[in-house]
A and B are shown apart, each in its own frame.
Chain A
């Protein structure tokens, strides 16, 4: 096809295709559910049908799209930051920090989403600050030191969460576990707006860093030779990507698999130019998570219960990725 002959045109085609697919996925989310649709009633505000279509379904899918975008874009950033294809936003402790925050809020009696999300966000930023500081060696952020700090922080956080669960009242352990599994609920509009603003800001920040990320792929010396301040770029990257992750994890809990698989799949299609890869991964993450969440809702019909959305992200994403890996064997993946 002539469209794909130029990398730029090909990139635009992929981005447009992802945006179109995302729109279709959101439309599907509004139409598909366990209850029958009554469109006449759904168009009148204040009816149950209206609340079902626009809030219980579409509102939740929009939140899924925003969280998915944050995970997809942050995944790219972390993989490039630590130069490891296995990295995801959780490996540097951001989600563990969020989990400690959420577990504390739940143990203290918060049953409603907003205080839990607030504490999770604070915990995520706290973990980020700690990893950032520990990763600084003589003023330079050293990726493997940050990675090590993150891994230890993850273990430490898990111990803290188990301690909180042990000390909490009966029943609270299950509630903490529910948060740790990650899930999407129809959000209050204010929370959706706040999360969207934070994620858009984070993705825009990464987009501004994209040319420098391209330079980081060349290695430290290569990046220096093209005039990029590697130390400063790493710091900005860690802060921006952690903020982005925190915004998503705070409202949905640590949803697995999106951040690791979406960037890899899209690298296979658009290559490693971060100016394209970052928006593509944001759109791809949004598409993937909102689609998986719609399927989670529909899974109630055969299963009689909704599985955590992480079950579907892994069940669908895993085989898809393995097939791609097989088909593209021998090509450069990262």
Chain B
């Protein structure tokens, strides 16, 4: 089984090598410090292995160059459905990727495994890993993608839109009392979004304060500390298909009536992709959060 698979990969790799030009492109350093030799600049055929990278590629006008995507890439809706799928983010089909003859494969450090990039390089396919752990890293990722795809100007424009969008949300909620917010990513065992997460950054932009800011990243958190911190608002990023679990996720918290968020019915489910994914819809995420945190001030987008 494994041998058959290896043979297939090898055959596909040989076919791809035969098709590709000799490796003469310029050296670039990816966002985790690996040296990558692109086959062509700008790249003409791209495979994206992460949903946020796919979103960003379309946002900077490189959508036409995308020839394959991972199974979880779902945005922009209406554009990605026609594209060939190459498998899951953790275990994509290398044969499928090589068969698409990409100039460059784009990965994300948080969604993909480094081993996938190394395996692709061994098969002669350049692989660039992006790393975008916080909103502050968005400029680097956008500019790198812009440079690699020949859409540097559009990447700058997208960056300006992002910054202007955040500034507008900040201005709208400026001077408002900042409600105390808890972001619950999973209830049992309890996981929350601490600082150094996109959701934390967006809550700051939307004029709230994350009560779990002492925690770093997505982390386990003691329930008794939640009770003691008494958040006024609980945000539940959900990725259940079409929001089917939202009502149950909200009503789960009714067992803790001492929480202000429960007493005042201020528990909100929100699509996790717009508040936790370093993609092209972060402004939408900030607007939605601002509307939830400051219903009197920020009109819903």
Q: Which residues of A contact B (CB under 8 A)?
A: 33-35, 46-48, 50-52, 55-57, 60, 108-113, 115-116, 166, 169-173, 175, 178, 183, 185-186, 188, 297, 300, 304-306, 308
Check B187 against A185 for contact (C-beta < 8 Å): yes
Which A residue sits closest to B230, measured CB to CB?
A: A48
Contacts of B216 in A (CB 8 A): 304
| Given contact pairs A55-B256, A112-B249, A306-B220, a sample of 10 additional A-B residue pairs in the complex whose CB atoms are under 8 Å apart | A35-B225, A55-B255, A108-B244, A109-B241, A112-B245, A113-B187, A116-B188, A185-B189, A186-B223, A305-B220
Check B240 against A35 for contact (C-beta < 8 Å): no
Which A residue sits closest to B273, measured CB to CB?
A: A170
Q: Which of B188, B219, B256, B257 has the most CB of A within 10 A?
A: B188
The count of chain B contact residues (Cβ–Cβ below 8 Å) is 42
Q: Which of A33, A48, A116 has the most CB of B within 10 A?
A: A48
Complex: how many Å from CA A108 to CA B244?
9
Q: List 9 A-B contacts (CB under 8 A).
A: A34-B224, A51-B258, A55-B256, A113-B252, A170-B111, A186-B223, A300-B220, A304-B215, A305-B215
Instruction: Say which one of B84-92, B120-128, B156-164, B196-204 lies at the interface with A.
Output: B84-92
Check B227 against A112 for contact (C-beta < 8 Å): no
Complex interface residues of chain B between 156 and 199 (CB less than 8 A to chain A) = 186-191
Complex: how many Å from CA A169 to CA B88?
9
Check A33 against B224 for contact (C-beta < 8 Å): yes
Check B189 against A178 for contact (C-beta < 8 Å): yes
Check B222 against A169 for contact (C-beta < 8 Å): no
**Smallest CB–CB gap between B270 and chain A, Å?**
13
Contacts of B187 in A (CB 8 A): 111-113, 185
Check A109 against B223 for contact (C-beta < 8 Å): no
Which A residue sits closest to B250, measured CB to CB?
A: A112
Tell yes or no: B2 within 8 A of A by CB.
no
Which B residue sits closest to A301, measured CB to CB?
A: B222
Complex: how many Å from CA A109 to CA B240?
5
Check A111 against B258 for contact (C-beta < 8 Å): no
Contacts of B225 in A (CB 8 A): 34-35
Interface 0/1 of B121-156, CB less than 8 Å to A: 000000000000000000000000000000000000
Complex interface residues of chain B between 227 and 275 (CB less than 8 A to chain A) = 227-228, 230, 236, 238-241, 244-245, 248-249, 251-252, 255-259, 272
Contacts of B90 in A (CB 8 A): 173
5 smallest beta-carbon distances between A and B, as pairs: A109-B240, A170-B72, A185-B188, A183-B189, A56-B224
Check A115 against B248 for contact (C-beta < 8 Å): yes
**Smallest CB–CB gap between B288 and chain A, Å?**
19
Complex: how many Å from CA A304 to CA B251?
28
**Smallest CB–CB gap between B143 and chain A, Å?**
25
Check A51 against B227 for contact (C-beta < 8 Å): yes
**Smallest CB–CB gap between A105 and chain B, Å?**
10
**Smallest CB–CB gap between B247 and chain A, Å?**
9
Tell yes or no: B51 within 8 A of A by CB.
yes
Contacts of A56 in B (CB 8 A): 222-224, 227
Contacts of A178 in B (CB 8 A): 186, 189, 191
Which A residue sits closest to B257, measured CB to CB?
A: A46
Contacts of B189 in A (CB 8 A): 178, 183, 185, 306, 308
Complex: how many Å from CA A70 to CA B50?
43
Contacts of A52 in B (CB 8 A): 224, 227-228
Q: Which of A57, A170, A175 contacts B224 (CB 8 A)?
A: A57
**Smallest CB–CB gap between A246 and chain B, Å?**
18
Check B224 against A169 for contact (C-beta < 8 Å): no
